[in-house]
Amino acid sequence: MRRIALALLILLGGFAGLVFLGERSIGPLVITREGEQRVILLFGDPREESTRPGLSWRLPFVEEVRSFEARQLHLNVEPLPIQTRDEERIVVDNYVLWRIHDPLLFLKAFPTGMGQAELQIDRVVRADVREVIGRRTLSEVVTSARGEVMQSITEQSRAELAPLGIEVTDVRINLTELPPATQQNVYARMRAERQRLARKYRAEGGEEARRLRAEADRQALVIVAEARRESEVSRGEGDAEAARVYAEAHGTDPEFYTFVRSLEAYRKTIGKGTTLVVPPSHEFFRLFESMDAKPPKQ
């Protein structure tokens, strides 16, 4: 029993030692963890690729183990001055999300490691950013076609870097700025454009205001003319009705009608302080003469 227990203890200790050495890529056991990719090299040539988490074996001191990230990697690209299709100079700041999808291709393309790969990614993405944005206007890059621009850059960079074992997941534009000298020119053009639009809107508003005033004046004239016409019609109808009433009164009692009309004429003509220079036999005083000629009632 002691021998069995000792043997088990030795086996467990040996396995633990293998695991310990395998974690440090020293012993014969190769441990691939989650998020890792490993390639085993025999005298510098790839013998086995291990891209899944698990265990594999190698010959110590003869075979070499190279480890690579399997997760998404982030690379910031230096800001790049670019001229757009409408000859505007802008400074574009972008970054790249990428991963190693084929460790063997990646190792062959970049034997010195990640630094060399990042330089190549930076070079390819810079060229693609310059080419794609150069085919667009400033307005499209900043607003309307920004998503299409980034999608085009991503697809183009992915196709160019795929043969090197690199998968470009996304190319995103962080910031799009204008150089200081260009900013002043752009702002001046924007200001002039806004002023032009303001003058245009003011002119259109003034024209509309004149049209509304003319329409209001026309309607006012029509309304006043209509009111005057109606007043003249009403006045004519009133005069006709008055003439009818006067005619009826004259027909009923001509003398009384004449008397009332004469009194009305006196009231309108003779006021306080009025002086009339007419002969006593004038027609105007006929009523007084007729009154003197009548004998007084008993």
> Is residue 298 in some structural domain?
no
Whether 56 and 90 map to the same domain: the answer is no
CB 60 within 8 A of CB 27: yes
Whether 157 and 143 map to the same domain: the answer is yes
Q: Which of 35, 52, 68 is the last residue of a domain?
A: 68
- The residue range of the domain holding 173 is 73-178
Whether 104 and 146 map to the same domain: the answer is yes
180-252 and 254-269 helices cross at what angle (nearest 10)? 130
**Placement of tokens 């009332």 in the chain:** 260
Residue of 45, 43, 49 lying closest to 67 (CA atoms): 49
* Structural domain count of the chain: 4
Kindly indicate the confidence band of residue 298, based on its pLDDT and cuts at 50, 70 and 90: very low
User: What does the alpha-carbon distance between residue 95 and residue 145 come to, in Å, rounded to a whole number?
Assistant: 18
Encode 61-82 in three state secondary structure.
CCEEEEEEECCCEEEEEEEEEE
Whether 145 and 239 map to the same domain: the answer is no
φ and ψ at residue 176, rounded to 5 degrees: -125, 115
For residue 195, give the H/E element and its range.
helix 180-252
Q: Residue 96's domain is classified under what CATH number?
A: 3.30.479.30
pLDDT tens track for 97-128:
998 888 888 888 888 888 899 999 999 999 99
Residue of 103, 100, 92 lying closest to 125 (CA atoms): 92
Whether 165 and 80 map to the same domain: the answer is yes
> Is residue 297 in some structural domain?
no
Whether 82 and 171 map to the same domain: the answer is yes
Whether 78 and 170 map to the same domain: the answer is yes
Whether 260 and 248 map to the same domain: the answer is no
pLDDT tens track for 22-71:
555 555 555 556 556 766 665 555 655 555 655 554 445 555 666 777 78
Neighbours of 291 (CB within 10 A): 9
pLDDT tens track for 137-185:
878 887 778 888 899 999 999 999 999 989 999 998 887 777 676 667 7
114-134 and 146-161 helices cross at what angle (nearest 10)? 140
Residue of 33, 53, 50 lying closest to 41 (CA atoms): 50
User: What does the alpha-carbon distance between residue 170 and residue 154 come to, in Å, rounded to a whole number?
Assistant: 5
